[in-house]
Amino acid sequence: MALLELDNISLDFPVLQTKARGNHPGLQSNAVGGQLADGGAGYLRVRALDGLSLRLEPGDRLALLGHNGAGKSTLLRVMAKLYAPTEGHIVVEGRVAPLLNLSFGLDMEATGYDNIFIRGLFLGMSRAEIRRKIDSIAEFSELGEFLDLPMRTYSSGMRARLAFAVSTHVDTDILLLDEVVATGDAAFLRKANEQLEGFMMQSKIMVLASHSNSVLRDLCNKALLLEHGRAKAFGSVDEVIQIYKTSSDVKAK
């Protein structure tokens, strides 16, 4: 069974205050980013997430909305257990595939084939599973003989292709996506989007952060609007998008 449950999750980042700029008498709201507070001993405390509770079960496709710095990427990293919450409790059941940073887990001095193993192991695949899928991954990447060369000889697009190919060959229960992946030329992008759609359909739970409302409407059945790390709205995708548009319009005036 796949399950993703957050119980009153909060996450603070301490930041060294090199130069005091006025008083910080408590949590303050900012135009972007989390909430600021005096953390004591010369530190500021940035509350990136604040009291979030959520339960996702098989069939849930959650859209994350919010301005830059609202906490979308941070929430995805908490769900992937890359960040430990400062407060609250998280329960994750099932294999998680985080497509959050395509460069993470790559060794520039290792070959493409070696990096298939490195990234595959990082994503929770066994060595036996990687061996079974390595030919399919190599074929999908279209990198050919470059797979025998060190990753430092690759362009950024080639690195993204390989990382994407590995990531979408994972058998996953919970898929976490930070924006829709764009990799390489138009022909490969079409191929990647087709692969990604199939990958999404196979996962039991999906969480997607994106600034494209059309993508969110097409792929998701629930939505969460974040503002300064707090849940501002939760419900159907259309309802939450409308709330986001309305609140953005008010702030712009």
DSSP assignments along 37-56, one per residue = EEEETTEEEEEEEEEEEEEE
Phi, psi of 223 (to 5 degrees): -145, 145
Distance from CA of residue 19 to its chain's centroid?
32
CATH topology of domain 3-95+210-252: Rossmann fold (3.40.50)
Portion of the chain with pLDDT greater than 70, in percent: 83
Provide the residue count of the chain: 253
pLDDT in tens, 11-38: 998 876 655 455 544 444 455 555 655 5
- HSE-up of residue 76 (Cα within 13 Å, Cβ side): 24
pLDDT on residue 215: 83
Distance from CA of residue 243 to its chain's centroid?
23
**CB 65, CB 244: distance < 8 Å:** yes
What are the sequence ranges of the domains in the chain? 3-95+210-252
Distance from CA of residue 213 to its chain's centroid?
17
pLDDT on residue 30: 53
Q: Residue 62 — pLDDT band, cuts 50, 70, 90?
A: very high
pLDDT in tens, 71-81: 999 999 999 99
